[in-house]
């Protein structure tokens, strides 16, 4: 399992993190986890990750992730 945890990424980008993400998979699944519902911030995150070539962003809300989403982590 490859798990990369960041905070405020890609808003505060890091080439090291981007290189690691690209080395994991061609199009990795990315869990965007928010403590509260915020569709606007998720849409901005989608755009930012898309600029780096990642489009596998999934919106997770703490406490509301379903079993299928949690299984992705294992």
Does residue 54 belong to any structural domain of this protein? yes
Look at residue 63 in the predicted model and tell me its pLDDT. 65
Does residue 7 belong to any structural domain of this protein? no
Angle at CA of residue 22, ends 38 and 20, nearest 5° = 90
Overall pTM surpassing 0.85 (yes/no):
no
**What is the number of structural domains in the chain?**
1
Give residue-wise pLDDT tens across range 36-70: 777 888 899 899 999 988 988 888 876 665 666 66
Give residue-wise pLDDT tens across range 4-39: 888 888 888 788 888 888 888 888 888 888 767 778
Does residue 26 belong to any structural domain of this protein? no
Does residue 59 belong to any structural domain of this protein? yes
Range of the structural domain that residue 65 is part of: 13-18+41-74
Percent of the chain whose pLDDT exceeds 90 = 9
């Amino acid at each position: 399992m490859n798990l990369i945890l960041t905070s405020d990424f890609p808003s505060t980008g890091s080439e090291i993190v981007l290189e690691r993400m690209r080395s994991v998979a061609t199009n990795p699944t990315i869990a965007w986890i928010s403590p509260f519902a915020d569709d606007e911030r998720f849409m901005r995150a989608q755009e930012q990750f898309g600029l780096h070539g990642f489009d596998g962003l999934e919106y997770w809300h703490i406490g509301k992730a379903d079993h299928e989403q949690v299984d992705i982590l294992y």
